[in-house]
Amino acid sequence: MTIPGKKVPVDKIEKHLHEIWEQKASELKQDLVRSSTINFCVTCELSLLDKILELLHHVVPYHPGRVVVAAFDEHNTSEQITAHVYTYCHEKADQKRICSEMIILHFGKNSRQHLTGLILPLILPNLPLYLWWMLSCDQLMDYDSLLKSTNRLIVNSPFLRAVDMETLVETVLSVEEIKLSDYAWGRITNWREAMAHYIDPDSLQHIQQVTLFSSGENPALDAWLFVGWLASRLSWTPKGILSGRLTFSHKDQRIDVLFENKERDNQHLLAVEIKVGPDQLLFRSQQNSIQILKNDQFLASIPLTTDPGQILSNELDVLFQDRIYLQALEKLSELFHFKKGIRKDEEQHHTY
Amino acid sequence: MKSEKNNPLEEGLRIRKIADKNTLVIFGATGDLTKRKLMPALFSLFKQGFIPKEFDIIAFARSENTDDSFRKVVEKAIASEETSSDSIEPFLKRISYFRGAYSETDDFKRLKKRLEEIDNNVLFYLATPPSAFDNIIHNLGAVDMAFLQDHWTRVIIEKPFGRDLDSARMLNETIQKVFNEDQIYRIDHYLGKETVQNLLVFRFANTIFEPIWNRRYIDHIQITVSEKIGIEGRGGFFEETGILRDIVQNHMMQLLCLVAMEPPSTTEPNAVRDEKVKVLHAVRSLGPDIDENVKRGQYGEGSIDGNNVKGYRDEENVSPQSKTETYVALRLMIENWRWAGVPFYLRCGKRLPKKVTEIAIYFKKPPLLMFGHNVEKEAMANVLTVTIQPDEGISLSFDSKIPGYRTRIRPVTMEFRYGTSFGQVPPDAYERLLLDAMIGDPTLFTRADENEQAWKIIDPILTKWQEGSDIPVHSYRAGSWGPKKVDDWIEKQGRLWRRL
């Protein structure tokens, strides 16, 4: 794999970046602006580096700053770490070129313990650090110093195994300083908006059944997050968990949540069907939009953001802890604990 | 209709609400505003999905047109390099043309019938000259279109909202006879600008500024709206209006309010507007001191961008003896605990060297005696500048030692620019305001009392100018920063206009 940029010694990254900036400023006639609004650190497997860089090139024009990508190569047993640096510029309408700096660190299997020590000195002071963690959560817990310096941790729950999700829920809920966000949570934002906007608040207490259609063999994590959100917002209490079906209660109302999986390439939420009293509402994805149907009659449609760059960019817009997300996680945690305690015998039959 | 009850699902959703489905009726649809601002803004909202696909535009105007011919005009107005005909087509399909006269009640009956067929929420947009407002509002009331069963109706009214206090009151009365105040959206596009909205965030979301945002630390404040353009062929309109009515009464008063207001307890529309109105109430009446506090000017011939330009009195439809002001400078005092003794200088003009709108906060100078007399002279006051346009941002100037063996001081700046710090292109002001009106959020619109209170400040000046023919209109050369006499006036007060 060819890593873009200039290969430089890991202890000379700043020096070489400085030289690149000087050279760039003398070469270009246009106004060149080195813009720094955030530190953005991404950890990933080396095999994903190309995709990640492509995505980042779409995101940095909206969030210029210093980007550090730490790519881990499980097949490389050496302790060597390499560094590549380059600047990424985009031209604005007023001819100004807004530039970010990209640093790619390539770690072998046996050098990952140096991650924190290498990243911390590269962080620009007084700017927030976003850490997008695309490795397993077990590994994340080994980097507590890095976590302490992180303002916002972004995980990508579809990349995580179920055990990770549980670990993550418990870890995050126990460490208040970590402000966590989730790429998958960003992906269900439009679904939440559609529900919030098109279900009358008066009828929310009368929901009887929710059916979530998602792709893949198992319910997509998007679907789980969606259930966590809905149950937490509407104060539903878990009452039963069986393969493909959850039961909640609220006051005297029983609510059934069903998962229907359809084979598709991706792992996303495809539709949500809600039974409220005599009415049936259907929210379904259709060509970058969510269509809303009431009793099979078209009601409205709203845009569905599917562009990964846009979803990530939205995550970088906020620094605070999304309380609603945490409450959704708490509800999922409650569900997992409920499952462990009450239906332990069935646990191994269900994956989520 | 959806219940107004609190919706637990809406909590925490960062992305704004989507407008309810609605029909927008634009009166004055063939006018310049519709072409230049409204249609591009609506198309942008439509493309981004902020307004639902079940949205219609009824373009109401007097001239002869068909749906197709009008759509062609709109297509030309919204076409750009980035838009394909595929993306324009669905938007154009939502537009229909309605020929009618503003004074003809029968035409409004036909309009009502059309709206009944569509069976939708309705937003009326009065993009006409103010002379048509009365007829339109009267006819909307006459045919019972202000309130619909099961649907909301709202009305957006373009400035100028009145030409003095009496006419503003009369207009308010006329509209309020037909619509409730919470249905009325008086638009001032300055409030839709991102930097203007950022003023509240800047002041009230940061700890470091608010403690020094008062008479103890601030010497004075300058608010400038400078335009390079002249009157652009609108001689007839400008002769009747002048820059005091056109810019100061609305845009500049809004900026004044946002700079000077107390923190509202919430961001609820009326909480914010209440605080703005309090500022206007606290502005000291100019009374007999008008000549001392208000200066006017008019551009003569000069040079802009290397081209010779005419003087105002040589412009088309302008009287050769005209006394209409193309430049005005005011000193206002706000009599409250926070601002007592701090002058607010407002200046705006046409045919000035560049287009810029900014607010400059001049802090008091420190004693600096420890650096010696010469250094004290070199030292400048700290100035915090909020640039509204064109290069939106905030900068802070402070003094720094020039490197070397001697102690010499020079001001340096720390800058924040929207364009280089955030990649997102801020929405156009009209996009934001149209969407807010469709959503039903009046925060960025002017309330009746706010409008009338602003006129109360301006009205005595207009009256005095009308009565006193001897009040000078200072001439300035086009392409200069305004009349020399006005520079002298501020210098006599120990201050200088900010060099922009």
Beta-carbon separation of A201 and B5 below 8 A: yes
Picking from A304, A262, A312, A259, the residue whose alpha carbon sits closest to that of residue A283 is: A304
User: What pLDDT shows up at residue B346?
Assistant: 98
Whether the Cβ atoms of residue B33 and residue B132 lie closer than 8 Å to each other: no
Residue of A nearest to B54 (CA): A300
Residue ranges of chain A whose CB lies within 8 Å of a chain B CB: 33, 35, 37, 60-64, 92, 94, 96, 98, 189-190, 192-193, 195-197, 199-202, 204, 230, 233-234, 289, 300-303, 314, 317-318, 322-325
Spell out which residues of chain A touch residue B21, defining contact as CB-CB under 8 Å.
300
What superfamily does domain B12-158 belong to in CATH? NAD(P)-binding Rossmann-like Domain (3.40.50.720)
Beta-carbon separation of B3 and A200 below 8 A: yes
A176 against B11, higher pLDDT = B11
Phi and psi, residue A138, nearest 5°: -60, -40
The 10s digit of each residue's pLDDT in A299-346 is: 888 888 888 888 888 888 877 778 898 889 888 888 877 666 544 344
Give the whole-angstrom CA distance, residue A290 versus residue A27: 48
Whether the Cβ atoms of residue A262 and residue A213 lie closer than 8 Å to each other: yes
Record the tokens describing residue B495, joined without a space: 């201050």
- For residue A61, the 8-state DSSP code is T
Beta-carbon separation of B423 and A63 below 8 A: yes
Say if B390 is an interface residue toward chain A (CB within 8 Å): no
CA distances from B244 to B239, B314, B468, B489, B495 (A): 12, 21, 16, 19, 23
User: What pLDDT shows up at residue A157?
Assistant: 61
Q: Is B373 a catalytic residue?
A: no
Mean pLDDT throughout A288-300?
Answer: 89
Spell out which residues of chain A touch residue B418, defining contact as CB-CB under 8 Å.
none
Beta-carbon separation of B13 and A189 below 8 A: yes
Give the whole-angstrom CA distance, residue A144 versus residue A132: 15
User: What pLDDT shows up at residue B28?
Assistant: 93
CA atoms within 13 A on the CB side of B290: 18
Picking from B320, B316, B318, B313, the residue whose alpha carbon sits closest to that of residue B298 is: B313
Picking from A308, A316, A320, A321, the residue whose alpha carbon sits closest to that of residue A64 is: A316
Whether the Cβ atoms of residue B74 and residue B94 lie closer than 8 Å to each other: no
Pick from B5, B18, B421: CB nearest A35:
B421
- Mind telling me how many Å the CA of B90 is from chain A's nearest CA? 14
Phi and psi, residue A230, nearest 5°: -65, -45
In this prediction, the residues of chain B whose per-residue pLDDT falls under 50 are: 1-2
Q: Residue A305 corresponds to which amino acid?
A: T
Q: Residue B352 corresponds to which amino acid?
A: L
Give the whole-angstrom CA distance, residue B297 versus residue B352: 12
Spell out which residues of chain A touch residue B414, defining contact as CB-CB under 8 Å.
none
DSSP string, A14-31: HHHHHHHHHHHHHH--S-
Picking from A84, A90, A81, the residue whose alpha carbon sits closest to that of residue A5 is: A84
Mean pLDDT throughout A34-50?
Answer: 90
Pick from A61, A200, A201: CB nearest B423:
A61
Whether the Cβ atoms of residue A257 and residue A212 lie closer than 8 Å to each other: yes
Highest mean pLDDT pick, A206-220, A249-263, B245-259 = B245-259
| Coil, helix or strand at residue A211 | strand
Beta-carbon separation of A62 and B17 below 8 A: no
Give the whole-angstrom CA distance, residue B316 versus residue B17: 47
The 10s digit of each residue's pLDDT in B301-330 is: 988 877 889 999 999 999 999 999 999 999
Beta-carbon separation of A200 and B2 below 8 A: yes
- Mind telling me how many Å the CA of A345 is from chain B's nearest CA? 34
Give the whole-angstrom CA distance, residue A208 versus residue A214: 20
Spell out which residues of chain A touch residue B2, defining contact as CB-CB under 8 Å.
200-201
Task: State chain A's mean pLDDT as an integer.
Answer: 82
Phi-psi region of B481 (alpha: psi -120 to 50; beta: other; left: phi over 0): alpha
Spell out which residues of chain A touch residue B421, defining contact as CB-CB under 8 Å.
35, 37, 64
Peptide bond between residue B442 and the one before it cis (omega within 30 degrees of 0) = no
- Mind telling me how many Å the CA of B6 is from chain A's nearest CA? 7
Tell me, letter by letter, the H, E, C secondary structure of chain B.
CCCCCCCHHHCCCCCCCCCCCEEEEEECCCCHHHHHHHHHHHHHHHHCCCCCCCCEEEEEECCCCCHHHHHHHHHHHHCCCCCCHHHHHHHHHCEEEEECCCCCHHHHHHHHHHHHHHCCEEEEEECCCHHHHHHHHHHHHHCCCCCECCECEEEEECCCCCCCHHHHHHHHHHHHHHCCHHHEEECCHHHHCHHHHHHHHHHHCCCCCHHHCCCCCEEEEEEEEECCCCCCCCHHHHHHHHHHHHHHHHHHHHHHHHHHCCCCCCCCHHHHHHHHHHHHHHECCCHHHHHHHEEEEEEEEEEECCEEECCHHHCCCCCCCCCCCCEEEEEEEECCCCCCCCEEEEEEECCCCCCEEEEEEEECCCCCHHHCHHHHHHCCCCEEEEEEECCCEEEEEEEEECCCCCCCEEEEEEEEEHHHHCCCCCCCHHHHHHHHHHHCCCCCCECHHHHHHHHHHHHHHHHHHHHCCCCCCEEEEECCCCCHHHHHHHHHCCCCCCCC
What superfamily does domain B192-426+448-492 belong to in CATH? Dihydrodipicolinate Reductase; domain 2 (3.30.360.10)
Residue spans of the domains in chain B: they are 12-158, 192-426+448-492
User: What pLDDT shows up at residue A177?
Assistant: 65
Record the tokens describing residue B117, joined without a space: 């067929």
- Mind telling me how many Å the CA of A33 is from chain B's nearest CA? 7
User: What pLDDT shows up at residue A342?
Assistant: 46
Residue of A nearest to B45 (CA): A303
Which pairs from B263-269 meet CB under 8 Å and 24+ separation?
Answer: B263/B203, B263/B204, B263/B210, B267/B200, B267/B443, B268/B443, B269/B441, B269/B442, B269/B443
User: What pLDDT shows up at residue B11?
Assistant: 84
Beta-carbon separation of A189 and B21 below 8 A: no
User: What pLDDT shows up at residue A208?
Assistant: 94
| Coil, helix or strand at residue A105 | strand
Is B452 buried (19+), middle (13-18) or exposed (0-12) by CB count in 10 A? buried
Where b means 16+ CB within 10 Å and e means fewer, A199-214 reads: bebeebeebeebbbbb
CA atoms within 13 A on the CB side of A54: 6
Spell out which residues of chain B touch residue A324, defining contact as CB-CB under 8 Å.
11-12
Interface size between A and B, measured as CB pairs under 8 A: 80
Beta-carbon separation of A201 and B54 below 8 A: no
Residue of B nearest to A302 (CA): B49
Phi and psi, residue B23, nearest 5°: -115, 125
User: What pLDDT shows up at residue A350?
Assistant: 37
Beta-carbon separation of B9 and A202 below 8 A: no
- Mind telling me how many Å the CA of A149 is from chain B's nearest CA? 22
Where b means 16+ CB within 10 Å and e means fewer, B246-280 reads: bbbbbbbbbbbbbbbbeebeeeebeebbbbbbbbb
Say if B263 is an interface residue toward chain A (CB within 8 Å): no
Whether the Cβ atoms of residue A215 and residue A268 lie closer than 8 Å to each other: yes
Record the tokens describing residue B368, joined without a space: 């600096």
CA distances from B284 to A322, B243, B336, B471 (A): 45, 21, 10, 21
